[in-house]
Amino acid sequence: MTINTELVWKILTLLISVAVVPLFGWVWTMNTEVSKLGIQFAHHDEKLEEMEVDTSKSMEIMERNSQDIALIQRDIEHISENIGEIKELVQKEN
């Protein structure tokens, strides 16, 4: 009976070791993949923040440009309305 008990323990130990070693490899692989994904996520998060800052700067520049364009359009309208007076002044001086 001791032989059967020893044989059972040996088989049980063998089965456990056969299951544990591949599981250890799988856990190690999954841990590596999760670490890679964490690094990629952090990198993408940094890039997103940079893009948000760039976008807000671009929007500010565009708003300033649109204000400048509106001022230039107003000046052109003013000049075109008063072109006759300017023409008379130039002709009087000549």
In the numeric block, which tokens belong to residue 69? 């364009």
Separation of alpha carbons 11 and 19, rounded Å: 12
- For residue 77, what is the DSSP state? H
pTM beyond 0.75: no
Separation of alpha carbons 54 and 51, rounded Å: 5
* Distances from the Cα of 2 to the Cα of 6, 9, 15, angstroms: 6, 11, 20
Q: What is the pLDDT along the chain (94 residues), one digit of tens a residue?
A: 457 888 888 899 999 988 898 999 999 999 999 999 999 999 999 999 999 988 989 999 999 999 999 999 999 888 888 887 878 878 887 6
